[in-house]
Chains A and B, each alone.
Chain A
Amino acid sequence: MKTLKKYGPFYLLMLPVAIYFILFSYYPLVKGLQTSFQDYKLMGARPYVGFANYETVGHDPTFWNAFWNTLIIGGGIWIGGFFAPLIVALSLNEVLHRPFKKAAQLILYVPHLLSWVVIGGVCIFLLSPDTGFVNLLLGKLLGLKPINFLAEDSWARGIMIGSAVWKDMGYNCILFLAGIVAINPSLYEAARMDGATRWQQLLYVTLPQLANTMKVILLLNTLGILRIFDQIFVMRNPAIAGKVDVLMMYTFQKGIMEIRIGPAAAASFYVVLLTLLLTVAVRKMTRFDEV
């Protein structure tokens, strides 16, 4: 009781946040779980059917195709989304001309602020086989024939990975730069006194000191791997659907387009479960708790 009196105001401050999460995160989660065990009709009786929806989804080859697509595209974004901003942040850190550095940061960050509707539209326009800038450039510089990037299987996943990495590079880059700025300058000073070159300072001071930031970014990227949707929804087309349709797209199609709510809920719980497993694995691998 004493503790409650002492910390009461703090608990009170927490209450709106707790209510928010209960209402908008946990309640839908519980409701979704319930739905995944029901023969869910939009109206009328909704009998429980045990694991039937999970079995339906588990035996659906489209689900497994979407699963592999998710792992490949999500994995690509996970790796690219880690290394690309790291390299850019390390490069920007070497830039001494401050206005250029700030301008570069701004330009890199802007795509993160735009929705996938805008970015997807820009990508479709840039990659168009007749008037797209990329094909015009390839034609002028290398004399290549136009490539229909967004209609060919061989390019589809690469385009999705590349555009996603590009879009969010600025955001992760800023996190890395913040980590770099926080490194104790005396470490560099000591390294210089020991005769370390810039490359050696990067290898033996900057990177080890960024370890904690890297862990956070890896974990944040992991949480998003299986939830890719907006990008695919905007940039997919029937010709490449088999290569880019991901788990959330499968859920959307089952739930919204085909009105099969039970299997859609089951599929989304597979996603929740897999995300949980991936997150635990990454935490273990990176020894996240030792941050």
Chain B
Amino acid sequence: MKFKFSAALSAVAAGVLLLSACAGQDSSSPAATGSSEASDSGASAVSTDSVGGKLVILSGNVGGKTPEGNEKFAKALGDKLGLDVTLDKPASDYDQKVLTALGSGAKYDLIEVSDLAKLNAFISQGVVTDVTDFVQNSPVLSDPSVIPTAEWDQLKGKDGKIYGVFSKFQGATMPIVRKDWLNKLNLQEPKTLDELYDVLKAFKEDDPDGNGKADTYGLSTSGLYDIQGIMSAAGLKYRYVIKDGKRTIPYASDAAIPMYEWFAKLVKEGIMDPNFVTNDTAKMRNLFLSDRVGMITYWDAWVGMFNNLKKQEDPNTTFQAEGMASIPAADGAILMRRGDPDFWIIPKNAPHPEAAKKFLEFWQTQDGILLGSLGVEGYDYTVDNGVYTLTDTGKQANMDHGVPFWYNSNVKSPFPALPGVEDAMALSKKYATLELSLPTWPDAEKIVTNYALKAMSGQMPAKDAVAQMQKELKDANLIDE
């Protein structure tokens, strides 16, 4: 009996495995068919009136802010495209959701990605459709006024082919300073490392919030990439820099030692928020918004959002955030960090690649940009005789439904830009450059951040930290010199 029962169980198990194996086969076979379908589909731009059918999207940022808002967003998108749109926008753990979806053979027509290292990984995993022909033949996407031609280089694989289409314009991170505190303390925007130290010290010691308590910090950060605006003073770019064909990491070079010592001095004197090692960006933002810190390093778009949030909270607020350029190096060069772009990929197993392409063109048009920024008409905003008005829901969304900024220079927002953001964006456009992230960066990053944070927080002399960094990076063959 025991044997029979075991046999029955085994049979069930085997059946399940067989079925699952079949499912696995099924999930991988469309990859092949999808591939051929997608690869030859770029010969011409998509006809906007011939696609019809369904469109299934997996998105991290694009969409409504609530489940209800997301439903309305998908409906509005579907109406505009003439498609039955399903918009899957997970509330959290987006990267895991994407990986699970791709690994399990779930079929999406479009997936939003915001990490170039991930794009390269997906290309090498055989996941992404080549959209070069489609982009080059599309009257919308090939128009330099819609997307500047040079920008496409970001989305090219090693083979020179284009594997994604931008979902928005990505800005840069920069030092964001309390301009009202500068004014109150009669200080100028710092242009050198010494001036920056003086300003931060004044923010700490001169009671800039006027509450009579020594409860403010000069500077707070979250993560090492955020300090690019200050490391610029030594001409140091984050991640990899190729020098004479050799892989180098400037943050692990001897030139970084005085910079780490500078930070350690700030920490020792209580000028820097001591929680900078454990801060996440939300904590850092809250510290800035609650008058606890005079300077943070964060995205340009947030300059406007900070000012807007405080204005909504109190129309008479004196709060004024301002983006500033990185501290220039001795040769005058200013280094700023441009973020990886947000972009769409068409997975090779996409069931409706033509519908996806229809969307990709639509997304760069006036209607697409309005939907991605303002949101859904009648829900996020209303239009009366050509006058746009944000609803309360729309105000909370801060004109960001995945596209706070866009490439298309022909499309103007019906609302003025949030205060301070245009100046910040101008700096980004002028100075910000992408970082070079090689496949070995995840391993190198652990070593660099570990010792850099130890040096900055004063746990370890900067010289020793950099020496240890260099030794471990070389031992693990993560740098060449």
Q: Identify the A interface with B (CB < 8 A).
A: 3-4, 11, 18-19, 22-23, 26-27, 30-31, 41-46, 61-62, 124, 128-130, 146, 148, 150-153, 237-239, 241-242, 253, 255-259, 261
The B347-401 residues at the A interface (CB cut-off 8 A) are 347-349
B1 nearest CB neighbor, chain A only: A3
Taking CB atoms, residues of chain A closer than 8 Å to B459 are 151-153, 239
User: Which secondary structure characterizes the binding site on chain B?
Assistant: helix
Taking CB atoms, residues of chain A closer than 8 Å to B149 are none
Do A238 and B449 touch across chains, with their CB atoms under 8 A apart?
yes
Interface residues on B, range: 35 or more
Taking CB atoms, residues of chain B closer than 8 Å to A241 are 446, 449-450
Given known pairs A239-B277, A259-B118, the reply for A19 and B17 (CB within 8 Å) is no
A191 to chain B, nearest CB (A): 46
Given known pairs A238-B450, A256-B99, A257-B95, the reply for A151 and B13 (CB within 8 Å) is no
A4, A46, A239 — most chain B CB neighbours (10 Å): A239
Do B126 and A44 touch across chains, with their CB atoms under 8 A apart?
yes
Give the residue of A18, A30, A62, A148 whose beta carbon is less than 8 angstroms from that of B9: A18
Taking CB atoms, residues of chain A closer than 8 Å to B463 are none
Give the residue of A42, A129, A130, A257 whose beta carbon is less than 8 angstroms from that of B125: A42
Do B274 and A148 touch across chains, with their CB atoms under 8 A apart?
yes
Do A30 and B32 touch across chains, with their CB atoms under 8 A apart?
no
Taking CB atoms, residues of chain A closer than 8 Å to B211 are none
Do A259 and B99 touch across chains, with their CB atoms under 8 A apart?
yes
Mask of B447-481 contacts with A, CB within 8 angstroms, 1/0: 00110011001010000000000000000100000
Residue B144 interfacial (CB < 8 Å): no
A242 nearest CB neighbor, chain B only: B450
Taking CB atoms, residues of chain B closer than 8 Å to A18 are 9, 12
Give the residue of A61, A128, A153, A255 whose beta carbon is less than 8 angstroms from that of B275: A128
Q: Identify the B interface with A (CB < 8 A).
A: 1, 4-5, 9, 12-13, 16-17, 20, 28, 31-32, 95-96, 99, 102-103, 105, 118, 121-122, 125-127, 223-224, 273-275, 277-278, 347-349, 442-443, 446, 449-450, 453-454, 457, 459, 476
Given known pairs A42-B122, A44-B32, A259-B121, the reply for A151 and B16 (CB within 8 Å) is no
Taking CB atoms, residues of chain B closer than 8 Å to A258 are 121, 442
B441 nearest CB neighbor, chain A only: A258
User: Which secondary structure characterizes the binding site on chain A?
Assistant: helix
Do B454 and A239 touch across chains, with their CB atoms under 8 A apart?
yes
Give the residue of B16, B95, B102 whose beta carbon is less than 8 angstroms from that of A27: B16
A-B CB proximity, top 7 nearest:
A238-B449, A151-B277, A44-B126, A239-B453, A43-B31, A129-B274, A42-B102
A62 nearest CB neighbor, chain B only: B443
Give the residue of B103, B121, B125, B453 whose beta carbon is less than 8 angstroms from that of A151: B453
Taking CB atoms, residues of chain B closer than 8 Å to A124 are 278
Besides A130-B273, A237-B278, A253-B442, 17 more A-B contacts (Cβ < 8 Å) are: A11-B5, A22-B9, A42-B122, A43-B125, A43-B127, A44-B32, A45-B28, A128-B275, A128-B278, A151-B459, A153-B459, A238-B449, A239-B454, A242-B450, A257-B442, A258-B121, A259-B121
Do B457 and A43 touch across chains, with their CB atoms under 8 A apart?
no
A257 to B441, CA, bound (A): 12
